[in-house]
Amino acid sequence: MAAIDADLDKRMTAPGIIDLLREDVACVFDRDPAARNLFDVLTCYPGIHALATHRIANAAWRRGLRWPARFLSYLGRALTNIDIHPGATIGRRFFIDHGAGVVIGETAEVGNDVTLYHGVTLGGTSWTKGKRHPTLKDGVLVGAGAKILGPITIGVNARVGANSVVTKNVPGGMTVVGIPGRIVRPDTQAHLSAHGIDLEHHLMPDPVGKAIACLIDHINRIEARLEAHTAAEMARAPLSSLNLSEIRLDGVACESCGNLCDQEGCSPTPSTQQHA
């Protein structure tokens, strides 16, 4: 009996379709600087049209009117090029920017204050019944062209880089980039909007670029040491008598990777000191 009363209270306090649509329209002005006025948003934003259609189709779907809900969803897709299954659960203040090519599957769950850019797919990875689409928690931002696949969870305020393919859970506040998606540390200089959403989706960490930069720096250090070592050997002996094949670099083995390394942050131990 208590469970029934709790469910009834939840339904009575839940916002209606009109209230949800008002919030959806209002959030456009917070996240899109191109939005000029209310008439412009209501008539020219396919994301708003697709969301309005979905709110109605989802209400029909939950009442068991499956074919009318699917047909209404189909009409919305034909009008907006945004495919949202009527069974998908979408929270408040949801914003789809541009919208072209967005696909949201039947069992997908989207929290509050979520932003998607064009070309995003919230898809499944199996033909089995049940939960097979991702869950996006509150405040998630997904960049253009990203694919989030399977019954995984993207944590609160996480960011998904453009064109990333994500198939594993992402902790809250983190950023995932690449194919397959790799979790990187959060940006310490995030540009948050008034609602705490970081819209700088183009400023994504590049772990591959960082690794290449470290390798280049490592090579430069080795070349500098080689030149210094060679100069010292040549100063002690004439070039004609110098056997260059015997010149060796002294180095230490890195505790973290086991390779010879003179990078900052790598702490060698006496037992790991080696010659290159």
Q: What is the CATH number of the domain that holds 134?
A: 2.160.10.10
The mean pLDDT of 9-30, rounded to a whole number, is 72
215 is a domain residue: no
274 within some domain: no
The torsion angles phi and psi of 190, rounded to 5 degrees, stand at -70, 145
Q: 48 or 236: which carries more pLDDT confidence?
A: 48
> Is residue 168 in some structural domain?
yes
Long-range contacts of 9-16 (CB under 8 A, 24+ apart): 15/92
105-109, 115-119, 136-140, 261-265 — which is least confidently predicted? 261-265
pLDDT tens, position by position, 87-123: 999 988 888 888 888 999 989 999 988 989 989 999 9
Q: How confident is the model at residue 126 (pLDDT cuts 50, 70, 90)?
A: confident
pLDDT bracket for residue 19 (50, 70, 90): confident
The answer to whether position 88 is within a domain reads yes
Rounded CA-CA distance 116/46 in Å is: 13
Task: Name which of 173, 208, 206 is nearest 188 in CA terms.
Answer: 173
**Region 23-39: what's the mean pLDDT?**
82
Determine the pLDDT at residue 69. Answer: 92
Position 275 confidence tier, pLDDT thresholds 50, 70, 90: very low
Q: Is residue 179 part of a domain?
A: yes
The answer to the question of residue 74 being in a domain is yes
Number of domains in the chain: 1
What range defines the domain where residue 78 resides?
14-187+206-210
* Predicted TM-score (pTM) of this structure: 0.63
In a domain, 143, yes or no: yes
- Helical packing angle, 66-80 and 46-62, nearest 10°: 170
